[in-house]
Structure 1
Amino acid sequence: MTERHPRTAPHTPRPARRKRLAVYLVLATSLTLCGAAYPIPPHPGPGPAPEPVPDSPAPADVLVPGEPREPGQVAYLMDTPDQVLPPLVYEPTAAEEAVEPAEPAAGVERLVEYVPGDEVGAVACSRQAGPYQRQVERWLKLAIDGKQSAADCAAIRRFQTDHGIRPNNGFAGPTTWGTMRLLSARANPNAAGRCPVRRSRIACVDLDRQIMWVQNGRKVTFGPVAVRSGRPGYATRTGTYPVYWRHKNHWSTIYNAPMPYAQFFSGGQAFHAIYDNIYSTGGSRGCVNLTYSDAKRLWGALAQGDPVHIWGRRPGA
């Protein structure tokens, strides 16, 4: 429809204009509540750098990163939303495709454990049972009682030291358990047969274990790697979906946040990188998050049209 100039537009009676305005307001409210947005042109670039997020004390019963951020390191708002409706699909220019997304700051991808607020840098060996105490005890072949002991702490510390998890204070947190879960899956991630075996490529997302991989037939061609899926109220949808659009420099116009190496498969849900700890205790808002390094490699391991099969449920979601 061609937009008319106000002076040449036909006269509309006041009651009709009020009614039309009311309809527009209802539609706008509905779109806002469901998280959608009118299509707008893609973000031209990263814009101004986010402000540094100050560190603040946390209660003892709240898990926080066990090591502070590097001086001057900023935190992007990484919990990009499930937009419900698909993003505006367009063909990126060759110049845009040639630009790689900004790399994360040094140290962002290192394995940092989440510990109680009163144990950040304060203890050499945690006396507290972590949220994954029993799972970690079972994996390390310790006595499974869900209680932290000196022997438990020593064994957990050895594992953390061997795998570069910091701080290595023996707390059975999400990073330690997530690393164990990933190690257990490496030999044969599809041992349970939950992902369909096809003669072509398929991406497999196991929400129970918070891992994903790509397989072609029975051969694993990518991964497995750790992922972070939807938090409570924003669950990642299960089922099988095709990768319908890829944009390596995608920008969430709703939350003004980057979604590097985005590969959309269901509405606003996509694989994409985060500039954050993949084992953080909060989930995404529907997307399947990967580390920057893994998302960049996945970009070359999938193509538009490839199926994505998702099953299970994120622990706690």
Structure 2
Amino acid sequence: MAPLTVVLTGTPAAAASCTTRSGPHQKQVEAFLGRPVDGRQSPADCAAIRAFQTRHGISPTIGYAGPVTWGVMDLMNQQKAAAGNPNRAGRCPTDRGRVACVDLTRQLSWIQDGARLVLGPVPVRTGRDGHETRTGAKKIYWRNQNHWSTLYDVPMPYSQFFDGGQAFHSIPGSVWSPPGSHGCVNMRPADARQYWNLLRNGDDVHVFGRKPGT
């Protein structure tokens, strides 16, 4: 499956109007961006929020501290907190050899060998509502470094398929851009390249959890 192509709609960010309204997550967004936390929208607040929205494909880019923008930031906070020990809860099996773990809830993936963390965690973008990444125990069965999706007519570099048309592969742009892929586990290019170098056909993949909004 190919990734959902992110298209920013409306007026380009440089010319878009900037909202003067405070959003329901104003204080949380201000704190995330290192802005003064007063819960009141300011031109500087709006500029910082719009820059974040533009960078991560969140539309409309009007600087509003709404639930979508805060949801991306909150997910980033959860991912940061998982660094060093992503399998603290033991959701990914450690009674086997090399396994690529995919946590849909936190939108994270990592590779471990038994109890030893080999790589990660790294942020990923999994399937959106109606195109969810399927959970359970899988195995990588086909790899293609320069794969091209004939279904969606887009490149899928470093593809490693583990369940039907679902695969690890890199995408351009932000892995935090909503709403998600068509089922694949989208990765940043450097992360997808490392996965390509570490994994082989027959290696285990374990997908668990539930992506917010699906």
TM bin (shorter chain):
0.7 to 0.9
Match of 1:158 in 2: 34
Counterpart residue type for residue 31 of structure 2 = A
Match of 1:63 in 2: none
Cα 1:165–1:248 change in 2 (3 A) is farther
Unaligned runs of 5+ in 2: 2-6, 36-47, 53-62
Q: How does 1:166-181 map onto structure 2 within 5 Å?
A: 167=51, 171=65, 172-181=69-78
* Among candidates 155, 158, 169, match of residue 258 of structure 1: 155
What do residues 69-106 of structure 1 show as CA deviations (whole Å, max 9, x unaligned)? xxxxxxxxxxxxxxxxxxxxxxxxxxxxxxxxxxxxxx
What do residues 6-48 of structure 1 show as CA deviations (whole Å, max 9, x unaligned)? xxxxxxxxxxxxxxxxxxxxxxxxxxxxx9xxxxxxxxxxxxx
User: Partners in 2 of 1:212 and 1:219 — Cα distance?
Assistant: 14
- Figure out how many residues of one structure are paired with residues of the other and give that number: 184
Normalising to structure 1: TM-score of the pair? 0.52
Match of 2:95 in 1: 198
Cα 1:268–1:189 change in 2 (3 A) is same
The structural deviation recorded for 1:301 is 1.8
Residues 1:315 and 2:191 are matched in the alignment: no
The structural deviation recorded for 1:230 is 1.0
Cα 1:181–1:313 change in 2 (3 A) is same
Match of 1:127 in 2: 22
Match of 1:235 in 2: 132
Match of 1:114 in 2: none
What do residues 212-246 of structure 1 show as CA deviations (whole Å, max 9, x unaligned)? 10001111111101111111111111111110011
Match of 1:5 in 2: none
Match of 1:135 in 2: none
CA contact (8 A) 1:155 1:170 kept: no
Residue identity over aligned pairs, in percent, reads 43
The structural deviation recorded for 1:122 is 2.7
CA contact (8 A) 1:261 1:271 kept: yes
Residues 1:207 and 2:104 are matched in the alignment: yes
User: Partners in 2 of 1:175 and 1:221 — Cα distance?
Assistant: 26
* Among candidates 143, 146, 158, match of residue 249 of structure 1: 146
Please say which structure displays the higher CA radius of gyration. 1
Cα 1:241–1:206 change in 2 (3 A) is same
Structure whose residues are more often strand by fraction:
2
Normalising to structure 2: TM-score of the pair? 0.75
User: Partners in 2 of 1:153 and 1:264 — Cα distance?
Assistant: 37
Cα 1:272–1:165 change in 2 (3 A) is farther
Question: What is the SS of the residue equivalent to 1:270?
Answer: strand
User: Partners in 2 of 1:154 and 1:269 — Cα distance?
Assistant: 37
Match of 1:44 in 2: none
CA contact (8 A) 1:230 1:288 kept: yes
Unaligned runs of 5+ in 1: 1-34, 36-52, 58-65, 69-117, 131-147
Question: What is the SS of the residue equivalent to 1:246?
Answer: strand
Match of 2:185 in 1: 288
The structural deviation recorded for 1:187 is 2.3
Q: How does 1:1-317 map onto structure 2 within 5 Å?
A: 55-57=9-11, 122=18, 127-130=22-25, 148-149=26-27, 152=28, 154-158=30-34, 167=51, 171=65, 172-317=69-214
What do residues 150-176 of structure 1 show as CA deviations (whole Å, max 9, x unaligned)? xx45422218xxxx9972679453432
Counterpart residue type for residue 155 of structure 1 = A
Question: What is the SS of the residue equivalent to 2:138?
Answer: strand
User: Partners in 2 of 1:301 and 1:121 — Cα distance?
Assistant: 46
Question: What is the SS of the residue equivalent to 1:167?
Answer: helix
Counterpart residue type for residue 198 of structure 1 = D
Question: What is the SS of the residue equivalent to 2:51?
Answer: coil
Moved over 3 A (4+): 168-172
Higher relative contact order (CA 8 A, sep 6+): 2
RMSD: 2.9
User: Partners in 1 of 2:49 and 2:99 — Cα distance?
Assistant: 31
